[in-house]
Structure 1
Amino acid sequence: MGLFLIITLLIVVSAFYSYVNARFFKLPGTIGIITIAIIVSVVTIAIDKLDPAIASYLTVLAKNINFSGAVLNIMLGFLLFAGSFNSNTKRLKRELRPVFVLSTLSVILSTGVFGVLFYYGTMLFNIHMSFVYCLLFGALISPTDPVAVGAIIKTSKLPANLATIISGESLFNDGVGLVLFITILEAINSGVANVNFAQTAILFAREVFGGIGLGLILGFVAFRLMKSITDFQTIVLVSLSVVMSVSVIATYLHLSIPLAVVSAGLFMGNRTINIDEKERSHEALEKFWQLIDEMLNTILFVMIGLQMVNLPYITNYWLTGGIAILLILIARWLSILLPLTFLRRTLNVNYKNINILTWAGVRGGISIALALSLPTSPYRHIILCGSYFIVIFSIVVQGLTLNKLINSSLKDKEAN
């Protein structure tokens, strides 16, 4: 199947799902689209068992999409830039401390806690999995997804400070999670006994700080270029070139693409390019990237649903999937509670908000893309299926019930 045909079919399917949701389901965009995509995929898998010839026509699109490559190498940069460019940086600065802790320390804690719990939890059911692979699973599933989080927050009733903390955390923790994932995967490939911790620390620092530095430099250059002109077409092209250049250079220099793109987006979005009061290029650019964000969101979640067709063995992992859902919620809760307990004076977060922060920690396409990128191993199917269960549960169940949890918390506060 040719590339143009794949893109055409993907956009047609995305438009159809969006229409069905808007016309009949009327669920929040992201939740409705992935729900429809999952239903179609489940029906396709059922048809495949009855008549493989019919199902082959339905699965051809899913099997021709390189989901991992498309998300990590193409879509991720645009989605992160769009989210960071349109972020409210004034609010983000006010909540910088909790955002920093949740996007760094909490991700590391969640990775370790989930790895330990999953290792011993699966052993209770005679499912034996290497501990280092449990940590690898924790690294790819611990970061919250900025795409899924942003889409769900738009329709939530979160207080402004919590919404800023959750969205800010999701923008930055992908970079930390990706670095952890790469580090653990390299340790597996080279042998855990041969890991050089000093070299690993240098690699971690280079990925993180190098990515941030690259993003700030290219963001500054692009901002100065856009500030000096009023031609909107050129301004859009410059902003697009930043995302692509950051991705290419960061890949070549082995720096963190998510952190580089987010840094560039925050720098450029926080400074107006309007030359005078009558000029509205910056506002138009914000609307352009908001449109890109929403369109790519739709396509991404359609792709997530379609990929289930490629995982017929997912029906064999209901137990491990259920365990993974429970344990990631526990790991998320503890990774917020522990920093808050020891850094309560530093963090402007109330203990009563822990449950909301836990439930709003939605996972998405990035976790699945990382799971799909794993090399062949005895544990790949367990990690991949567990990731699917967690992502689907977090988007559909947590997304649909988040407002109920928020309303319940607000009523408790009023009662007290």
Structure 2
Amino acid sequence: MQLFVLIALLVIVSAIYSYINARFVKLPGTIGIITIAIIGSVLTVIADKLDPDVGKRLMVIAKDINFSSLVLNILLGFLLFAGSFNANTKRLKKEMRPVVILSTLSVLLSAGIFGALFHFIGEWLHIRVPLIYCFLFGALISPTDPVSVGNIIKNSKLPVILSTIIAGESLFNDGVGLVLFITILEAIRSGTDNVDLAKTALLFLREVFGGIALGVILGIIGHWLMKTITDFQTIVLVSLSLVMSISLIGAYFELSIPLAAVSAGLFVGDNTINIDDKERSHEALEKFWQLVDEMLNTILFVMIGLQMVNLPYLTNYWLTGTLSIVLILVARWLSIFLPLIFLRRSLNVNYSNIHILTWAGVRGGISIALALSLPASHYRHIILSACYFVVIFSIVVQGLSLNRVIRAGLKHDQP
């Protein structure tokens, strides 16, 4: 019964915030909901200080939610499958080269650049975090969030090419970032002097390629099952079981669930399940997963705001948070610029697009979930608090100003 109460309260709060935004605030979905959720969390903290009994009741949702586990083990698979299922695969294939570069090489570069800058500049500002933990922070904050990016570029005036590149990058780079995060965390646990490079590389390759293989195999099986029937209720159940199977099998064999979900979603979405010209099961399934995507997005961003209740120390890290915001933007810019120097002829991107690609690199719930999963240490609060600053800034500030950056960038392109 406790689980039902928790889910019911979460859905009710999500519905209230969504209604307030749609009826009164009228900001783009993601930006409006997380803004309202943050205000709600601040009011909850104030209520707790004024009347602990009232505050305790208001905090019950945030206190009882294991945000990290819920996002990484349950929501992430559904959100990535839904996003990739509804992706425009024709455009994505056409822009696959820059997507692959941004979702792999750029993520690794960004994590390394951010980690190094955060460590050395932090030392100068008396923010002392070991270099290995700085790289760990870089790994969790460098990947862009497909949920946040998808919602924000939906309301932007991005050219089709850049929109496809940014959306495609966000689908794949979470898997790479998550694997990099796990690899560095394993190195910290085993001790930097005892790191087995061969074992670490094998772990990285198994997570990445094993996850992609799992997604393709289960995608082929799921697609065949759905294509052989016409009962839409059963088709929906098969698609849901496909995502759940990815989560269960991926967790058991320690394969990348994000990459598996994206691979399966792209395969199933790109291959119709319509049996004849009159049958429209595939189009109906697209609408179903679009609805699932929007509902889970709302719930996810409400949870992000609610989790602030669990971080009473957040206001102690204004300097660290501000530094992190500046450095992740610098690292993002450099991670795009450096590959572009050598690969400009083969990429459909020019130098003036770097500013747009940098500003459109929005972080979200996955970064926070990874930060919350960090084991207890002297540096956990620093990383978690700074991560919240970056995520809130990127969603609210970058999201609201993205169209201005786009107009400036496109104007610069004009002769």
Structure 2 length as normaliser, TM-score? 0.99
Residues 80 and 262, structure 2, Cα contact 8 Å, conserved in 1: yes
Map of 2:118 onto structure 1? 118
Q: Hey, what does 1:409 align to over in structure 2?
A: 409
Counterparts of 2:60 and 2:245, CA distance in 1:
33
**Distance in structure 2 (CA, Å) of the matches to 1:44 and 1:4:** 22
Q: Distance in 1 between matches of 2:46 and 2:385?
A: 18
- Paired residue type of 2:55: A
- The 3-state SS of whatever aligns with 2:59 is helix
Tell me the residue number matched to 1:293: 293
- How far the C-alpha of 1:300 sits from its partner, in A, is 0.2
Give the corresponding residue for 1:77: 77
Give 1:156 deviation, angstroms. 0.7
The answer (yes or no) to whether the contact 2:352–2:412 under 8 Å persists in 1 is no
Larger mean Cα displacement after TM superposition, 42-51 or 399-408 = 42-51
Describe the SS at the equivalent of 2:172: helix
**SS of 1:344 mapped into structure 2:** helix
Q: How does 1:142-221 map to 2 (within 5 A)?
A: 142-221=142-221
Aligned to 2:352: 352
Cα offset, 1:44, TM superposition? 1.8
One-letter amino acid of the counterpart of residue 91, structure 2: R
1:14-413 superposed matches below 5 A = 14-413=14-413
Could you tell me how far apart the structure 1 residues matched to 2:162 and 2:61 are? 39
Q: CA RMSD in A?
A: 0.9
Q: Deviations over 1:330-377 (max 9, x none)?
A: 000000000001111221111110000000000000000000000000
Inter-partner Cα distance in structure 2 for 1:26 and 1:386: 28
For residues 83-110 of structure 1, what are the alpha-carbon distances to aligned partners after superposition, in whole Å with 9 as ceiling and x for unaligned? 0000000000000000000000000000
Structure 1 residue ranges, 4+ long, deviating more than 3 angstroms after superposition: none
2: CA distance, partners of 1:273 / 1:53: 54
Q: In structure 2, how many angstroms separate the alpha carbons of the residues matched to 1:244 and 1:347?
A: 36
How far the C-alpha of 1:49 sits from its partner, in A, is 2.9
1:51 Cα deviation from its structure 2 partner: 3.0
Deviations 1:106-134 (A, max 9, x none): 00000000000000111111111111000
User: How far has the Cα of 1:410 moved from its partner?
Assistant: 2.1
Following TM superposition, by how much is the alpha carbon of 1:30 offset from its aligned partner in structure 2, in angstroms?
A: 0.6
Structure 2 Cα separation of the partners of residues 299 and 121 of structure 1: 36
Q: How many angstroms apart in 1 are the aligned matches of 2:27 and 2:337?
A: 32
Q: Which moved more, 1:37-46 or 1:360-369?
A: 37-46
Shift, 1:271, TM fit:
0.5
Q: Within 2, Cα distance between the matches of 1:176 and 1:226?
A: 30
One-letter amino acid matched to 2:220: F
Cα distance between partner residues in 1 of 2:337 and 2:190: 34
**Counterpart amino acid of residue 25 in structure 1:** V
Aligned equivalents of 2:60, 2:250: Cα separation in 1: 33
| Counterpart-to-counterpart distance in 2, 1:93 and 1:33 | 33
Deviations 1:248-304 (A, max 9, x none): 101111110000010000000001111111100000000000000000000000000
Hey, what's the Cα distance between the residues in 2 that align with 1:227 and 1:59? 46
Structure 2 unmatched runs, 5+: none
SS state of the match for residue 349, structure 1?
coil
Aligned residue type for 1:132:
I
How far apart in 2 are the matches of 1:45 and 1:129? 29
Offset at 1:52? 2.5
The aligned length equals: 415
For 2:185 and 2:54, the matched residues in 1 are separated by 39
Deviations 1:224-264 (A, max 9, x none): 11111111011111100110001110111111000001000
Deviation at 1:54, TM superposition (A): 2.5
Report SS of the residue matched to 2:330: helix
* CA distance in structure 1 between the partners assigned to 2:180 and 2:84 by the alignment: 22
Instruction: Tell me the distance in 1 between the aligned counterparts of 2:146 and 2:410.
Output: 25
Aligned counterparts of 1:57 and 1:219: Cα–Cα separation in 2: 44
The percentage of counterpart residues that share the same residue type is 73
